[in-house]
Amino acid sequence: MTALFYLIILLCGLPTLLLSIDFLSFILTGRRLYNKIQCGIIEVAGMIVLPLLYLLLFDESKNDCCGDSATFSPEHKLTIYTLISVCIITYFYSSYKRNFSTPVVEVLTNSILLLGLVLNIFIAIHISGILWPWGCIPVGLLFMFRLIENHKIFIESNKINQYEPENYFEKFAWRILNLNPFIKMPFLLALCLPILTIMSSLLLLFGQKADSIVRAFTDTYKHGFSQLNYMCYNVQCGEHFLCSVAANGHKKVVSPIRYGERNGSKIICNRQLLVANAFEEIIQQNLPKTHRIIRSQYNKIGKLIHKHYHIFNNKFISDMIYIIMKPLEMFFLVILYTFDRKPENRIAKQYLNSKDIKIMN
């Protein structure tokens, strides 16, 4: 299994290595190292195979605090997938077209290629892990190659044939194409805005929103541009979901009393949570087999709860669970006061760090 894993990593990194060497050679000598067939294979690997593998294997279908979370927001990923597809299709159109097209089409093509390059940079920052070099570097290099090649083709075509624009749009596009590359790029980048506006307007018909391009990045957990990380602050994965109730319910109902520490994270504790954990502790000490059965069943409930953790953002739901658990809390107290000589000491020590527990002892 380990050998297979490293083989996959090596194969995925091969397009990055080959394209990096090719790009360095191109910068130094002005020529590419590979022939058309070799370039075609690398293009397919870098532009289609690697992004597709990532989206299928690593872009999860949901936001999840307790595991690998979606790279792009599940509600808005259609927008980002469409944008990626348009950029890739434009790349291959530009790569395999034989002749210089009209100025308007060339400007539109180059604008989308530049948009693909910028989008790739944002995706690289968003992923910000060990996987981004394998997918984002080859895609970025291919877009840069294509933009440079398009500029060279335009210059060569302009020397051979003097194009005469026929209308205002062609004149405007022709002027942009004749600009110095360092001046032309900002103009092309500005033209990306109306392209994005048109795409967003069309995707409204499929349930997307006007700001889905941005929210595809921000409405996620644990990634570069994620803005929903706060929703995971009180999530204790596979553990006591009463932590969520204590944290998210109305204070007058759930009555939080202090902060506690669980697995190195700060949590909000109320009386119900402390009593329940003290009950679990005394069962674990005296009836370990029974505790394992209870814990396994409770973990199943916990996993189900964490799949739908957003429900606990509703304070009334947390209040209702707190009230439903109240009779069980009374039962726990009866057990504690029956079998423990100092039940309140045991309750008070729950979720304290080791230093505080030593002081209490």
The three-class DSSP label of residue 21 is helix
| Strand stretches in the chain, DSSP E | 256-262, 265-270
Cβ contacts of residue 20 below 8 Å, gap of 6+?
137, 141
Q: What is the DSSP letter of 167?
A: S
The Cα 80–Cα 73 span in angstroms is 9
Which residues are registered as beta bridge partners of 258? 269
Angle at 292 between CA 286 and CA 295, to 5 degrees: 110
Predicted confidence at residue 305, as pLDDT, reads 61
| Token pair for 275 | 């009593």
The Cα 184–Cα 109 span in angstroms is 13
Has this prediction a pTM greater than 0.95? Answer: no
Contact 353, 261 (CB under 8 A): yes
Contact 146, 91 (CB under 8 A): yes
- How remote is the C-alpha of 207 from its chain's centroid? 20
Show pLDDT as tens, one digit a residue, over the chain (361 residues): 445 455 556 666 777 888 888 888 888 887 888 888 888 888 888 888 888 878 877 777 778 776 677 889 989 999 999 999 999 999 999 988 877 778 888 899 999 999 999 999 999 889 876 666 667 888 889 999 899 888 888 887 777 766 666 777 788 888 888 888 788 888 888 889 999 999 999 999 998 998 999 999 999 888 889 888 877 765 555 455 666 666 677 788 888 888 888 766 677 788 888 888 888 888 888 888 887 777 777 666 665 665 555 565 677 777 888 888 888 889 989 999 998 888 898 898 888 877 776 766 6
Cβ contacts of residue 270 below 8 Å, gap of 6+?
245, 246, 254, 255, 256, 257, 322
The Cα 142–Cα 80 span in angstroms is 19
Q: What is the DSSP letter of 45?
A: I
Helices 132-160 and 103-127 meet at what angle, rounded to 10? 160
Residue among 13, 93, 7 at smallest CA distance from 49: 13
Quickly count: other Cβ atoms within 10 Å of residue 351's Cβ: 20
The Cα 156–Cα 134 span in angstroms is 34
Residue among 117, 79, 124 at smallest CA distance from 215: 79
